[in-house]
Amino acid sequence: MKTNKSLAKRIKITKNGKLLVRAGGQNHFNAKESRSTQLNHKRGRVITMKNKDLGRYFPTK
């Protein structure tokens, strides 16, 4: 089975198996947002995925 490359490019798997994704809504129209909101968007978001789905997108072999 092949790895889903469109998803693999957007997700980073940490050493402990957490999935980090980039927060959405930060490409344009950011001047009206407060500075704290802009900085909060820079942090990665941790997402959860079932093992069945994880195996589908990131097969081990």
Provide block-wise average pLDDT over 10 residues at a time, the chain (61 residues). Answer: 86 87 88 92 88 81 55
- Strands (DSSP E) found in 1-61: 11-13, 19-22, 44-47
Q: Which domains occur in the chain, in start order?
A: 5-57 (4.10.410)
4's CB contacts (< 8 A; 6+ apart) are 56, 57, 58
Residue 26, number of CB atoms within 10 A of its CB: 14
Q: What is the pLDDT of residue 61?
A: 55
Q: What is the pLDDT of residue 16?
A: 86
Specify the pTM.
Answer: 0.64
Q: What's residue 31's pLDDT?
A: 92
Q: What pLDDT sits at residue 32?
A: 94
